[in-house]
């Protein structure tokens, strides 16, 4: 079986959620990890028996990659995805797609122009409850949606924001709880309603400007 050559860029909190499935899948070879913090990259490379890099451009040059997973601070999603797509590497990026709407558009354009797939992680769409709601909306069991309301009750302490140097900053995170946590709920609402004119989209776009 021909295996997809995969690399993960960013070895922080979410890394394991990408590395473990990639490591055990038969059709995937996790060839490299990358992080500017060398100790972090080295440790993960040892754990997953692969090579490590501290510079993603060097990673792109040296490994003949099929796919990258982007697990980086938000402001880096767009530049890294665009560089990869230009090299015909497929991209799976963590949410949010980018912190500016124009960057997201450029990511889509570059992926299209280079014939690569661009995926964005919104894993809550796969929760059994989400799948059931979507099915019941599609087959009409729940009738037509007249309005929507979302609430997010997750707690993130100051300590959480202090564990990474980019979280809670406009420049690098693109905001705080709305773009980081509430985005999951907004995505579900958007997906359920399936109407590009709905107000949550406007809210996200206003926020990303
Ligand atoms: N889907 C989810 O439920 C979920 C949960 C947590 C985090 N995330 C997302 O995952 C992404 C990463 O979040 P995190 O909590 O793992 O952050 P983190 O700060 O723990 O990890 C980010 C890593 O990127 C590295 N990095 C920074 N600049 C780099 C560069 N130029 N090249 C290579 N590495 C670089 C940092 O050294 C760090 O190790 C974010 O987009 C976040 O929103 C998603």
Q: What is the DSSP letter of 48?
A: T
Residue 28 structure tokens = 């995937």
Q: What is the 3-state secondary structure (H, E, C) of 32-63?
A: EEECCCHHHHHHHHHHCCCEEECCHHHHHHHC
Rounded to the nearest whole angstrom, what is the distance from the C-alpha of residue 73 to the centroid of ligand 1? 5
**pLDDT score at 203:** 46
How does pLDDT run across 112-126, given as a tens digit for each residue? 999 999 999 999 999
**In what helix (H) or strand (E) does residue 160 lie, and over which residues does it extend?**
helix 158-162
Domain ranges of the chain: 4-120, 126-208
For the segment 36-52, the average pLDDT, to the nearest whole number, is 98
Of residues 199 and 163, more confidence is placed in 163
**Which of 9, 10, 33, 188 has the most ligand 1 atoms within 8 A of CB, as the residue to mutate?**
10
CA 130 to chain centre: 19
Ligand 1 neighbours, Cβ below 6 Å, are: 9-14, 34-37, 40, 56, 71-74, 76, 94-95, 121, 123, 164, 180
Q: pLDDT over 70 for what percent of the chain?
A: 93
What dotted CATH number matches 4-120?
Answer: 3.40.50.720
Q: Whose CA is nearest to atom 31 of ligand 1?
A: 36
Taking the whole predicted model, whether its pTM rises above 0.75 is answered as yes
């Amino acid at each position: 079986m021909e295996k997809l050559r995969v690399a993960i860029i960013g070895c922080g909190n979410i890394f394991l959620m990408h590395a473990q499935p990639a490591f055990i899948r038969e059709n995937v070879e996790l060839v490299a990890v990358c992080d500017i913090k060398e100790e972090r990259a080295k440790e993960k490379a040892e754990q997953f028996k692969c090579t490590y890099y501290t510079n993603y451009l060097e990673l792109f040059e040296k490994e003949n990659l099929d796919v990258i997973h982007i697990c980086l601070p938000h402001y880096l999603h767009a530049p890294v995805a665009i560089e990869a797509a230009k090299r015909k590497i497929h991209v799976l990026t963590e949410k949010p797609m980018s912190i500016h709407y124009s960057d997201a558009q450029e990511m889509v354009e570059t992926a299209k122009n280079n014939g690569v797939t661009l995926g964005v992680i919104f894993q809550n769409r796969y929760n059994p409850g989400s799948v059931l709601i979507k099915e019941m909306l599609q087959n009409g069991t729940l009738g037509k949606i007249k309005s929507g309301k979302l609430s997010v009750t997750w707690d993130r302490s100051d300590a959480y924001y202090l564990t990474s140097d980019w979280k809670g900053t406009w420049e690098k995170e693109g905001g705080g709880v709305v773009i980081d946590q509430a985005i999951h709920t907004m995505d579900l609402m958007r997906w359920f309603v399936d109407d590009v004119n709905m107000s949550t989209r406007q809210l996200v776009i206003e926020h990303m400007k």
